[in-house]
Structure 1
Amino acid sequence: MFLLEAGSAAFQISQVAYHFCQMMEYFHICVSYGPEWHPLQWNRAIGEKYAESWEHVLYLPQERKTRLFWRLTRSHQDFSERTLSPVVIARVWLELSKSEINNAVRQREEGELVRAHNSLMNCLHPFETAKKYTLSIEGGEKFQIEEEVGGVGEQISSLEVTLESGKLRQQGLALLRETMDAEDFDVEKVWLVTDYLKQAILKARASDLESELIATAEIGRVFGCLQLKEVAKVYYRQVIDNAEAMKPRIVHSEYWYQMAMNGLIEIRGAYWEQEEKKRMEQKKPILEKLKPELDALAEAEKKNVYEFLAYLFEKHPPKVEGWEKPAKIDVSTGKIICRKACGWYHPDKNQASKFGPEWEVLCEEILKMVSKKYQIFKE
């Protein structure tokens, strides 16, 4: 003898077996002894045992639940039709359909799209059967069952779109990997990848926003690899903007959102680097011309902060409006003056359009030195 832990899968299966066997025993007694053994309480007892069997099935783990659903419904469908109301039968088939949908959702999240599609196909028969029995229901429960059936139907339609979009996306990414691994890079295949991803976007549009955004992020990544930064930027921007529609769900940690955000950061960094390189090329002749002044400033920078500021104001006084030379630069005023000097020599206040390119470049170099000196006061 051994005891089964209450709530365990084995316990639930034993309860299913117990109630189902009792139900079948009642049923066979009724059939064997004729109409006189068919009073209302017997029919009610049979129905209750049948319902209790299903109740315990619902507590089972997903895989076992699905298998038992199929066995019970297929083996005893004729019995259930003769003994149970359409409401009970419709709910049973509806639960089986939901079970397969849950399987499909879980498999999709695990990336097993083929298995998810098979599970979705498995849910169609019980769903259609539930719809059939719903037509036979009368009274107040009809509306409730119809509402449940409608909700499950929407789930099926949405999941079907998601899986189709995911399948197209997977096909495109598989082709991309194949192309990248090949010895001879074929750019035409990469364009075919973008076609797959565009189809995935269109398939999911207006039905599954997340699937649409996943495909959008992926196509942005492909265009980024092709060095079409402007095109990639458009797709990445769409992901970030449209993700707002998914609130209150927080999507910032989702891989597709991170892909889009990192892609935008990378593109901005590339643009900044390119602009900075161009700017340095433009600054190069000016820096050569300013070399004597910059060398003298470098020597003055070796002195303490107070002497450096005094030299700076003497040789290169700020040109900002309202500036006056400080009367005293020492321990009591040095920190404040140094902080203000960062503003006086900031390039935004010393633009080439007003003071000439040489002064703007000189102020940039001075600001670096002043900022470095100001760090002394923070230590």
Structure 2
Amino acid sequence: MSSSDAARQEGNEIYITAGPGVAPVVRIERYQKSLIHYQRALQSAINNQERSSAYKNLSVTTQNIAMLLLEQNKVDMFLFYVKECFTYGNKAVSTGKDIKSESWIKNINERLKNIFSEAFDWIMSLRQAKRIAVLHRFSSVPESKHHRTRLLKQLAKEYFNISVVALEKNDYKESIRALTEMYTPLTKLEELASQGHDMFLEYFVDDLKEDCFKNRCIAESLQKRMLADELLESTLYNTEELDMKRIWQVIDHYTESIVLTRENDVEQEAISLTRLGILYHKVLLQKTKAKEILMRVLQLAQCLYPRNLNDEKWFRDASDIISEYQQEQKRKEEKEWEKSRQKYVESLMPKLHVLQEKMNTLSIQKILVWLYTQHCPKHCKKFNVDVKAISEAPGDSLKKLLAKAIVHYHPDKIDAEEHGMEYKVWCEEIVKNLTAKYEMMKGV
């Protein structure tokens, strides 16, 4: 028996006494004693046959110690012995691959696979901050590409998740920090993919890099918007006169924020556009520019359908200002229309007096018969009503008849160029009177 074999045998005798049923502390102590003999066996080995056997004993024993330490939640010592287990196991395989049996090599690889699974499951059970710290320490341990890839993937995912959650809380600093930390595992994964020409790993890295780029754009956009908000508030409330130079700086920041989110995040782009639109509306009083910007916000909002945006302040702000502009435009158009229609009202005055007299003295049936026979709605194509049926209509059908008449004479259906403005104003007056009759009958 060689000195290496003798040392291994001494280690085995101690190893056997550390089996189940013995207190964990005592088991660890005995395993550590057996390690001393296995180390001696390794040092005195004179060939790969003896070296590979010593490495295997060291790997198996450190695996047992690691699992006992895991049960006791001794993290640092657990990681140390897991590292040792992988180191010795990988060396056992490399030194014994040409001289040991296939089942012997397979047994070691199975052990390494099991210890990795145990370690990975335990890592995933930790809180995120601790999990990341352990992944950093553990990712360089396994020589197996598959194991290292799995650890680095998880580390990259952890940082990306931190980035996403930070953005949801508008914490751009934490998001950018996490994305910066993510660069290291991504780079290592890229190296592993190129070394083994691993197409699937390349796809994973490319997809994650693209997501990382988008998140960084969104985070930097948020940073620009917050900077613009702070600068705008300082300019409006901390200075007596409006500093236009600073206002244009604010606009530049909002614009940069919009560009960064374009095609990356619809909602963030809409928020920045809303802030810019409000600035043009309230501060610069440029309504045309503000309307153009805020209409773009409402277009982006449609891309978020079917999500209900009524609870989102940016959407309410944009909608309220656009509604204000629309009401203002409507009032302006009504005022212009009232002014332009006045001359036609004057020329129609004799007819209007007759209309008013009929409305005041005749029944609804007779009013409708008079209108349809004396002032037929000439703009209605294929117009046809039964005048006799209207004259004999019962009281409960009058509201429906009035509603139809309002539709027949409604000015929105009249082309002023074809039928003339005077005719359009005449129909408008008819509809006003018919609508008043209809309103009176609502409760009937």
Q: TM-score, normalising length from structure 2?
A: 0.63
Which residue of structure 2 aligns with residue 109 of structure 1?
168
Residue aligned with 2:204, SS:
helix
Residue aligned with 2:228, SS:
helix
Residue aligned with 2:170, SS:
coil
In the TM superposition, residue 99 of structure 1 has moved relative to its aligned partner by: 0.7
Name which of 149, 174, 177 aligns with 2:233. Answer: 177
Label 1:67 to 1:359 Cα distance change in 2 as closer, same or farther (>3 A).
same
Deviations 1:12-50, CA, capped at 9 Å, x for gaps:
xx7794898667557668999xx8899754564345323
Give yes or no for the alignment of 1:230 onto 2:288.
yes
Distance, in Å, in 2 between the alignment partners of 1:130 and 1:319 is 78
Label 1:313 to 1:156 Cα distance change in 2 as closer, same or farther (>3 A).
closer
Conserved in 1, the CA contact under 8 Å of 2:156 and 2:182? yes
Label 1:30 to 1:183 Cα distance change in 2 as closer, same or farther (>3 A).
closer
Give yes or no for the alignment of 1:91 onto 2:150.
yes
Give the letter for the 1:229 counterpart: K
Deviations 1:66-112, CA, capped at 9 Å, x for gaps:
332213533x566x1xx441321232122112111111111111111
Which residue of structure 2 aligns with residue 118 of structure 1?
177
After the TM superposition, which residues 38-53 of structure 1 pair with which residues of structure 2 at under 5 Å, given as runs? 40=105, 41=107, 44-53=110-119
Label 1:23 to 1:46 Cα distance change in 2 as closer, same or farther (>3 A).
farther
Label 1:184 to 1:351 Cα distance change in 2 as closer, same or farther (>3 A).
farther
Conserved in 1, the CA contact under 8 Å of 2:136 and 2:155? no
Distance, in Å, in 1 between the alignment partners of 2:220 and 2:155 is 23
Label 1:356 to 1:26 Cα distance change in 2 as closer, same or farther (>3 A).
closer
Aligned length: 352
Label 1:48 to 1:236 Cα distance change in 2 as closer, same or farther (>3 A).
same
Conserved in 2, the CA contact under 8 Å of 1:19 and 1:49? no
Deviations 1:328-350, CA, capped at 9 Å, x for gaps:
62443745653443244322466
Residue aligned with 2:391, SS:
coil
Distance, in Å, in 2 between the alignment partners of 1:317 and 1:198 is 59
The structure with the largest alpha-carbon Rg is 2
> In percent, how many aligned pairs have the same letter?
20
Residue aligned with 2:387, SS:
coil
Highest relative contact order (Cα 8 Å, sep 6+), 1 or 2?
1
Name which of 387, 394, 399 aligns with 1:326. Answer: 387
Which residue of structure 1 aligns with residue 190 of structure 2?
131
Q: TM-score, normalising length from structure 1?
A: 0.72
Residue aligned with 2:375, SS:
coil
Deviations 1:202-225, CA, capped at 9 Å, x for gaps:
333455555444433432333333
Conserved in 2, the CA contact under 8 Å of 1:66 and 1:100? no
Which residue of structure 1 aligns with residue 436 of structure 2?
372
The range that moved more, 86-95 or 187-196, is 187-196
Conserved in 2, the CA contact under 8 Å of 1:108 and 1:116? yes
The range that moved more, 282-291 or 164-173, is 282-291
Structure 2 segments unaligned to the other structure (5+ residues): 1-69, 96-103
Give the letter for the 2:175 counterpart: A
Which residue of structure 2 aligns with residue 157 of structure 1?
213
| Pairwise CA RMSD | 4.3
Give the letter for the 1:126 counterpart: P
